[in-house]
Structure 1
């Protein structure tokens, strides 16, 4: 007996479930479906992404709809266009034997008049993104004043994306006697506020603990120096030859940059972020679902709604600004009962965030070492041998065998195997044979670079702050605001991470919390902008008015002299290779007296 039959579902739904191959309901389905079928009640259900929430509310909703009536009876709000379309398609699959049920998806990026026309033809269930739904309500293109059921799917993600006002406005147009079902992975304050304001004594269902991460996901972090982040990403990809992953970056700029680097280095990668058109995003997602893309590099907002069951790894190239967002990132793997791995590439300045995440997800991270170059070569070698062994022979090759045998004549079996494997293996071996260790020491007393200050030499002040000297100033076109913006963009800092910025003619000072010091010194090692080296060092200058002092007067004069010499020679470009930021690749220094805002 199919276990879904024990939940109270009707024959039409059970036939659809059988066609889809579902046999055992997930925990959230087992808990939610019988309650929603048996009672007219509000519900708050907390369960991780990928646990089957769509079916948990979709089956009861379809069974409760009066298909003899064409009026809109159910409204489902979801955070993104992708998720909206996905939910609508799944509901259509669930209701394939429920004749007369019409589901319409409403979302941005498509014709609003055509969507209004579909609703007018009769849509018992509307699946919508909050922004487009609010627009259609304001234009009186839809009538939700008589709905019986309202479902908020991925409620925490919608609120994280800034839809609180839209959601509350939409709900204000719905009848107070309707049933509201709220499904969410986490329970932040805003979600609780929605539940309190718009729900009446909701039944609460929790799968696992509140905000807990999925137990099908293993969490790992790799400690590296900030400048080695991209090389670490490549090693993780090469150490997992069958990787099918989502790589998360904080910003659209970093997302595009990382994806472009991966493509240049021969990986099947693509970027997914808000600057892409809807058509571009659709093409990227189609390629990802078809596994033409192995590494999808995405921002948090763009990745919401990605529902691909076979993602093997989530790689946090950078941790999110909001630590709670990590739960959603890791939920992209380990779906539908399968196991997955969530990896964090972690600079030493952010180690403290791991314990914060562990408290939220109620799971422990495993500190792991990046594999050495030789270890990666071994992994790739065995993977190649296994791939050759398991390859299905194409019989069309038979007619070419005589000619191939002539070409390979005189090569014995062992030599032939070596040559076959070397075709692919040599590429990895040549790249990794002289590779260095990228693992950062967990002890942060010394960076290991000659001349770099030890922790003892940059003790923070009584407020836990460190002050820095940087060899750019007013002559380079900076004022305090544009220099602060440059530092924030370069370091991916938040609004308040850089402060007490003091800009002089040819140099400047700024403060950060001591926790950022190592990351800043690493970033500005061999850092070039417009062909010129930008140097940052710890200073002992006072925080107020401090243009006259540094850790030594000689150092200040030396950097000032460098700046002057750079004007005469044109650039610092001949002094060696380093990080390079230019108009095409990153943050460019502003022109003098520029009023540009970044």
Structure 2
């Protein structure tokens, strides 16, 4: 079978689909499409592995539409996806490709949608069903979905299905469809669990691998910023303000972080919104529509919530929290630079995360360029340029300036007012939360100085061992008069080390100084920390109420101000480590 094609017509697709592809502007098939479409048209099972943004959706949707017999009024094709957003997106793609296939019927089933609407659509005997596993099983149990004559099953994002625990649901679905059917399984990675699925439920599948290499990243300009000098959220705002982009996605690790970062950005006037799995489906749908239609500029999302998201406007991806592995990184940056479009990605990297960065570089066979955060001077120049551009636009487009000019004499402050002073005051008011006068950036001499002062929070007498990441500090007795005692519910038996506690404090408390940390003692099931008095007044307990160490909640509580050295916790048989940081 031919593995090369210069156009979609060479692949054997019918003229209805070819006409739609011509209207949309699809000219030459991508590698995954060139290799998979002929196999699927011929009825083979296909196991396809390709990175995100490689064109997998069209690779299985086009042959599925081609093979459907519109004269048979029963469900012939089923596409199963892990998330509601991806199901809705694929359903929309199917509808777009059936512009000239008037009699074909497609339904999308997912949570958050009225059952009445879905039941009405299923009663019309759709030719193709696009669904999430949970909602499809619900309809199967109710007897409202009929898969008894299904011809083709497509499982998209199979690796994410495995990670989210949907594999048992997939097995249940397969048991409800005919034994003789075509199966297409697509995945960005190929873990052993996916291999086992293919062995059990696929019939000698044709395997298609589109290997990840430098070519995959050719349309994405990648860079990373070493977290130092300023807080991450401040750096994020500087990059967003100085970068040229139409729409951006900021990836964070947790659902709570999506709301926190979104609130910070909104406070400073950025057009942003959060997207996570805990949000109401209607709100999630509304947020994605705003992003697609241009009324939303910045989306703060988790990996799962943005899975499979394809919005043409996205030209910038910022990894605020580093992904857990190289595959997750590829999934994230794949939200931009999709199907040949140009994009840009930025990765925030803390010193302790350098190993993950190097693994990512090896995976994509590319050296990611380091950049510095925009300086105050750069930020000021950008703000002045944008303000000058606004003035220029007003001068060129508004014809009612005479009305406002006539109002100037009515402004009568108590003191004398010149035009220059009036312009300066109005300029200050117009900038709001983004002033043009900023304090200078803190001075960091070089990388080695940063490594010595890990994450900007260690004093110069702390040093880092690159192999073990153990913190070794000079010991010095601290006066207990300025210390409060805190209790956390993790200890030695949880695998917690001193460095984990210090790292957590450094991450959660902005600009904490090492002289603010006193004794830290580890016990079997809990730990005790001394911190400077007054930190509790700065809402430290609120900041740390949801903190975790080694994925375990710490449940931090204030015990009082009694010195650890004179408290009941001072028992040499119970504690294993202590630290005094000058």
Please classify the TM superposition score into its range, dividing by the shorter chain length. Answer: 0.7 to 0.9
SS of 2:274's partner is: strand
Counterpart of 1:444 in 2: which secondary structure? helix
Whether 2:377 is the aligned partner of 1:370: answer no
- 1:337 and 2:340 are equivalent in the alignment: yes
User: In the alignment, which of 452, 461, 477 is matched to residue 459 of structure 2?
Assistant: 452
| In the alignment, structure 1 residue 123 sits paired with structure 2 residue 126 | yes
Match of 1:203 in 2: 206
Counterpart of 1:522 in structure 2 is: 506
* Counterpart pick for 2:356 among 346, 353, 367: 353
CA offsets per residue over residues 243-283 of structure 1, 9 Å max, x none?
52111111111111111011011111111112211111122
Query: 1:177 Cα deviation (Å)?
Result: 2.3
**Per-residue displacement from partner, 1:536-584 (whole Å, max 9, x unpaired)?**
4576x7877999xx9xxxxx9xx5xx88xx6xxxx6567xxx6744289
Q: 2:80 aligned with 1:73, yes or no?
A: no
Residue of structure 2 equivalent to 1:489: none
Cα 1:43–1:393 shift into 2, 3 Å: farther
Of the candidates 44, 48, 61, which is equivalent to residue 45 of structure 1? 48
* CA shift digits 1:467-512 (9 cap, x unpaired): 99999xxx9784xxx523xxxxxxxxxxxxx74469xxxxxxx515
Please point out which of 507, 511, 520 is paired with 2:497: 511
Residue 582 (structure 1) aligned to one of 542, 560, 575: 542
- Structure 2's unaligned 5+ residue stretches are 410-419, 548-554, 560-582
Q: Could you tell me which residue of structure 1 aligns to residue 178 of structure 2? A: 175
Work out the CA distance in 2 between the residues paired with 1:390 and 1:149: 56
Residue 160 of structure 1, aligned match among 160, 163, 168 = 163
- Scaled by the length of structure 2, the TM-score of the pair is 0.78
- How many Å separate the matches in 1 of 2:214 and 2:201? 22
Partner of 1:493: none
Does the residue aligned with 2:346 lie in a helix, a strand or coil?
strand
Aligned equivalents of 1:534, 1:40: Cα separation in 2:
69
Q: Say which SS state the counterpart of residue 142 (structure 1) adopts.
A: coil
Asked whether the equivalents of residues 272 and 300 of structure 2 are also in contact (C-alpha less than 8 Å), the reply is yes
Q: Which residue of 2 aligns with 1:15?
A: 19
Q: Give aligned pairs, total.
A: 530
1:441 matches 2:425: no
TM-score (norm 1): 0.76
- Mapped partners of 1:11, 1:69: distance in 2: 20
| Contact preservation (8 Å) 2:223, 2:370 | yes
- Deviation per residue, 1:161-202 (Å, 9 max, x gap): 221111122123223321111222222232222222222222
Match of 1:92 in 2: 95
Q: 2: distance between equivalents of 1:67 and 1:188?
A: 37
Query: Among 123, 135, 138, which residue is 1:135 paired with?
Result: 138
CA deviation profile, 1:364-389 (whole Å, cap 9, x unmatched): 21111112110122234445556666
Equivalent positions of 1:364-403 (< 5 A) are: 364-385=367-388, 393-394=396-397, 397-398=398-399, 400-403=400-403
C-alpha contact 2:268 2:434 (8 A) present in aligned 1: no
Note the alpha carbon deviations across 1:332-361, whole angstroms, 9 max, x for none.
111231111221112212111101222333
2:509–2:540: 8 Å Cα contact kept in structure 1?
A: no
Q: Give unpaired runs (5+ residues) of structure 1.
A: 485-497, 503-509, 551-555, 593-598
For the 8 Å contact 2:250–2:320, the answer to whether it is kept is yes
CA separation in 1, counterparts of 2:239 and 2:340? 24
Cα distance in 2 for residues equivalent to 1:445 and 1:193 = 47
